[in-house]
Structure 1
């Protein structure tokens, strides 16, 4: 998937109140942009970082700009907009670019399921020889020395999703945790035991119970030291579960 319009470059001044970010644009003007990320954004909001914003001309919107991308280190880019990963994953799956999830004729989003009353990101059905696949998508942007870690903060919600996925395996369906790597500096994905050890332990328990874990990287890097403006998925990324 691509952004509908060219992104606007600027420099990050600060992120605050979770949903707001002040940005200095290239012409020197300052704007307040919507920050579509409720997480800690650990490693994705360095002072003065180059950032890229999408813009909307909808007069009903309070804020014209939305923060989309950030340069976390020279030549390394991350997509911080957590509204993007589900669409990225769905597009790739429906196009047959995720080999492990090929062959399904139907894909539905936000389907209610589970004993804890969750909504699954993607439900795949209509395969000739495989059961339905319940796919939970997670955005991975925390990079440390080439390793990607999830989560970037303690997540009771993420733990709930793992329990729900295990329940679907017990029901005879497939359950898939899909790590969407939205950071060009990440070469492997690992559970962040140093941040949320309970999540890491539960993830390993889920895998032992039959939950599948996949990771694919988005193609963010462009030419000339700028991002490409494309969020298409590329090659798979190795997942390392050992603590």
Structure 2
């Protein structure tokens, strides 16, 4: 091909020219295994299922997918829902939960519903930082939490409430357990999945954000991908419509 396909690093990664070949190799391996199983009448040697899923989906509804597919081995990559489609483009995963409704080349899209987030904090945090309520002045001083620097939910909530951006102190905690523990400890306020809000949390303001989620997967005539997609759709039935 006259092009460099692999970056010799640890681990090795494909170059932009190598990405489509990596994706083709993975898709070919899947189709070959299923074709051989059909030809011989034996069980298919199912490859490892590589998926990109955001942490909040994994902590709530997505684990039901595994119960419906007890056979295959899974390789789940935790990735922000706004960036998980990148792993599809790179050929790293065969399916992703994402906020992108435009199909990645070579993939099909299924609308799943919306994950609802609400702004919460501890009672002690509200008494200390927001005694007069969630005003613009208080929001500029009161620390908030974010998953990482890609997490824009708190910024979206601020824009929804005040119709403008407000710079504020932010703590970054990149695990769902740590994020929830940070809220409980009074470290900051943050957007939390409504489904798992408990009595330790108090509402910061009477607002919410609905984040539409989509399932994108390889556009292949594959029984495994068909079963996987059906399992994802079934598990996502609990999301907001």
TM-score by length of 1: 0.31
Indicate the structure whose relative CO is greater, using CA pairs within 8 Å and at least 6 residues apart: 2
Between structures 1 and 2, the one with greater strand share: 1
TM-score by length of 2: 0.31
